[in-house]
Structure 1
Amino acid sequence: MKYSTFIAAIPLLQLAAAQPHRRRHVHEHQLVKKDGDVVVTVVNTVYAEATDSPQVIVYVDQDGKPVSTTTEGLPAVQTPAPPAPAPVAPAPAPVEVAPVVESIAAAAPEPVETTAAPASTPTYSSGGNTGFGLVYSPYNADGTCKSLSQIQEDFKAISTEYTLIRTYGTDCNQIANVLTIVKERKNKLFAGIFDISDLSTQVATIVKAANGDWSSFDTISVGNELVNSGAASASTVVAAIGTVRGLLKTAGYTGNVVTVDTLVASRANPSLCDASDYCAVNCHPFFDGNVAAADSGNFLTTQIPTLQEKLANKSQKIVVTETGWPWKGLPNGAAVASLPNQAAAISSIKKSFASKPESIILFTAFNDMWKKNTPFQFEAEQYWGMGGINPPSG
């Protein structure tokens, strides 16, 4: 279940703060093409973001209530020349939307799995255990699954300062493979169910990977930006959370169960957070268009309270499960993709959340070359990798 979106990874809006990934940045391995995603233009607000397929535009007022809907074709945007063989990085989802759709999008065909080769004991880089989280996707550039040995090779390049690793799906044997490494690093895993159309099968995959030991699981998420992308209604997602929680409890898991959506979609549909053990949202300053890289941390700290006030439990914990900055791509107003700006954005975010690093999961460990760049993601979907690097294993 791959997602390009990290998986469907969507821009942010300020008073409508749009988040991935990845709609934000939907995890694309599951939805390689985002045809039909909703594009939202917020009226009377400071920020606005565009989704991957702007065929349907919904206008809302400052309170997030739909005002009107129009349909238009794709804008004529020229695609830049292909990137040089230098590092590449994935991009979070652009526009943050809060649509309510009753149907669930069908998952893309499962990728071809590669045979895992015997792995030697890995040596991981040190970093100080800061407590921040990091996104990792186990896919080759051609979209096929990585073997355990390849994943181990990738993790040798990931600093141990990141104590929580987020994945998005159950395909490619990724939970069992990444769990093996998480245990070796003494980290925690934020596992995900990307396609909620077959919950029992995916929960069974997670249960099998855990093999009775849930000690390394921090969180299990149910869906990624499904409401923002229009793939499911809030009520459908809330019901899925309850189903998964019940199945996992029967299997002995008593940890966190959440759904992840954009900050904007969650603010418009607070039931998503109310049904979760904590509020998990994707939020990317880059997609706002009015935020300079160095102001990324401040942007997040000012947007979180606008969500908090909508929750039934005003003191509920909020975790930003995707945030970062692309190092390559088209400019989005004040947001310019570059390596120096990526470094400035990450530094700003880490500084703003230095006292509570567990509230941030950075996007992403490496460039996601298996994703597809589009004008609506500012041709940056592949280029969000920390430091602009490609995964060592290819």
Structure 2
Amino acid sequence: MKAGLFAIAGLSAVAVAQPAHRRHQHLHKERDVVTKVDWVTEIDYATATAANVVVYVDEHGNPISTAYASQAAPTQAASKAASSIVVPVKDSSAAVVKSSAAPSYSAPAYSSAAATKTSSAAPSYSSTASSAGDGYGITYSPYRTDGTCKSQDDVNADFARIPGYGTVRTYGTDCNQVAMVLSAMGPNRKLFAGIFDINSVDSEAQIIINAANGDWSRFDTISVGNEGINDGTYTISQVSSAVQQCKSKLSGAGYTGPVITVDTFVAILAHPELCSVGDYVGANCHAFFDGGVLADAAGAFVVGQAQAVSAACGGKKVVITESGWPSAGNENGVAKPSEQNQQAAIASLKSSFSSNLFIFNAFNDYWKKNNSGTFNAEWYWGIFGDSASCTAP
């Protein structure tokens, strides 16, 4: 087997295992697939050196071996020239994936027992961001425990508890969330607004246009669809057509910013045609679902996947549109949900990226469908714990 060399951080078993375990179910028409979050501040590119991690691939681009700085290269001769892709990251030389062996490609064993959480209070996690306008984004969804819509007062109370994070990502337009988040998030943030159902592009884009009311300075990006290829819901042709339809409608209303689609890094690597669909590449990536990555190595893992996506997309700008770690749930291999590990993972992510990263999620989402397929962790991704209007059932 011929081996090619890319100077990018490790592709792992996630490419096979993650889709089976990775779905933040969304309720309410579009609520059977993930939480949604609004707006984003402009994120500047800051380039730094990523961990010295190498993935060896064959002539077809399939990963065959991963090596780190302290490891020798595999015995196969690398027949292709090395190339490197740099994404906006911080110096992550100290971050290493602490898995003693390559993660298994089969689904890891896990307990089907209900997840337990020792405290319903917000975890003691302290954000490194001190004010709005920093380079990180955060995801947010406006639903109560029973799946009904939060009020403007509820959303205002939520944002009073979110320090920093210059961008807010939402996933849809129901519940008047675009207007409510714009009102609650303050003047120093921008919105990354989402259209969830690509079959409703025209009507959802109009809702965004109405909420903008002619002021597009508060919008960073508009996304169309979330993980539709990963879930097998849509074809690439359908997603591409929807993005172009949205772009045309929004430009007619004066919007000149990016329009993209978002999918998992696994789906993008498997379908590089997605690279050309939007103005940049939006990739969701969660180290927890790999099963072979410890919490404090989450940053190195996600940097590696961001670089792999950028390489597959010819160096195109990549934004990690979701990444986090659950505070409760069942173990997934060496990945263990806990508040301490959540804090470690978020710190690792922030030490690895200086921008172009959305932390998933602001608050726990008890309106979602918790299940063993996502290790009974679906409720517990909120880095600020429970929202006052969305508490444990």
Whether TM exceeds 0.5 here: the answer is yes
Matches within 5 A, 1:85-234: 86-87=119-120, 127=131, 129-159=133-163, 161-182=164-185, 184-234=186-236
- Alignment partner of 1:364 out of 361, 365, 368: 361
Match of 2:224, SS? Answer: strand
Please tell me whether residue 80 in structure 1 is matched to residue 113 in structure 2.
yes
Match of 1:133, SS? Answer: strand
Provide the rounded CA distance (Å) in 2 between the counterparts of 1:341 and 1:77: 18
Select the structure of larger CA radius of gyration: 2
Provide the rounded CA distance (Å) in 1 between the counterparts of 2:317 and 2:135: 16
- Kindly indicate whether the alpha-carbon contact (under 8 Å) linking 1:17 and 1:47 is maintained by their aligned counterparts in 2: no
Provide the rounded CA distance (Å) in 2 between the counterparts of 1:359 and 1:174: 23
Provide the rounded CA distance (Å) in 2 between the counterparts of 1:240 and 1:140: 30
Structure 1 runs of 4+ off > 6 angstroms? 17-20, 48-51
Provide the rounded CA distance (Å) in 2 between the counterparts of 1:210 and 1:235: 29
Q: Per-residue deviation at 1:24?
A: 3.9
- Kindly indicate whether the alpha-carbon contact (under 8 Å) linking 2:214 and 2:254 is maintained by their aligned counterparts in 1: yes
Specify whether residues 240 and 281 from structure 1 end up closer, same or farther in structure 2 by C-alpha distance, changes over 3 A only: same
Please tell me whether residue 388 in structure 1 is matched to residue 379 in structure 2.
no
- Kindly indicate whether the alpha-carbon contact (under 8 Å) linking 1:14 and 1:47 is maintained by their aligned counterparts in 2: yes
Matches within 5 A, 1:252-331: 252-311=254-313, 314-331=314-331
Match of 1:388, SS? Answer: coil
Q: Per-residue deviation at 1:127?
A: 3.6
Structure 2 unmatched ranges of 5 or more: 1-10, 34-100, 123-128
Q: What's the TM-score, normalizing by structure 2?
A: 0.72
Specify whether residues 170 and 50 from structure 1 end up closer, same or farther in structure 2 by C-alpha distance, changes over 3 A only: farther
Specify whether residues 130 and 76 from structure 1 end up closer, same or farther in structure 2 by C-alpha distance, changes over 3 A only: closer
Matches within 5 A, 1:12-91: 14=13, 16=15, 23-30=22-29, 46=102, 79-81=112-114, 83=116, 86-87=119-120
Q: Per-residue deviation at 1:178?
A: 0.4
Identity %: 46
CA RMSD of aligned residues (A): 2.8
Matched to 1:299, the amino acid is F
Aligned length: 307
Match of 2:209, SS? Answer: helix
Specify whether residues 319 and 50 from structure 1 end up closer, same or farther in structure 2 by C-alpha distance, changes over 3 A only: farther
Please tell me whether residue 245 in structure 1 is matched to residue 244 in structure 2.
no
Structure 1 unmatched ranges of 5 or more: 1-11, 35-44, 52-74, 90-124
Specify whether residues 329 and 253 from structure 1 end up closer, same or farther in structure 2 by C-alpha distance, changes over 3 A only: same
Q: What's the TM-score, normalizing by structure 1?
A: 0.71
- Kindly indicate whether the alpha-carbon contact (under 8 Å) linking 2:30 and 2:172 is maintained by their aligned counterparts in 1: no
- Kindly indicate whether the alpha-carbon contact (under 8 Å) linking 2:24 and 2:32 is maintained by their aligned counterparts in 1: no
- Kindly indicate whether the alpha-carbon contact (under 8 Å) linking 1:18 and 1:287 is maintained by their aligned counterparts in 2: yes
Q: Deviations over 1:117-136 (max 9, x none)?
A: xxxxxxxx954643210001
Provide the rounded CA distance (Å) in 1 between the counterparts of 2:252 and 2:338: 47
Please tell me whether residue 375 in structure 1 is matched to residue 372 in structure 2.
yes
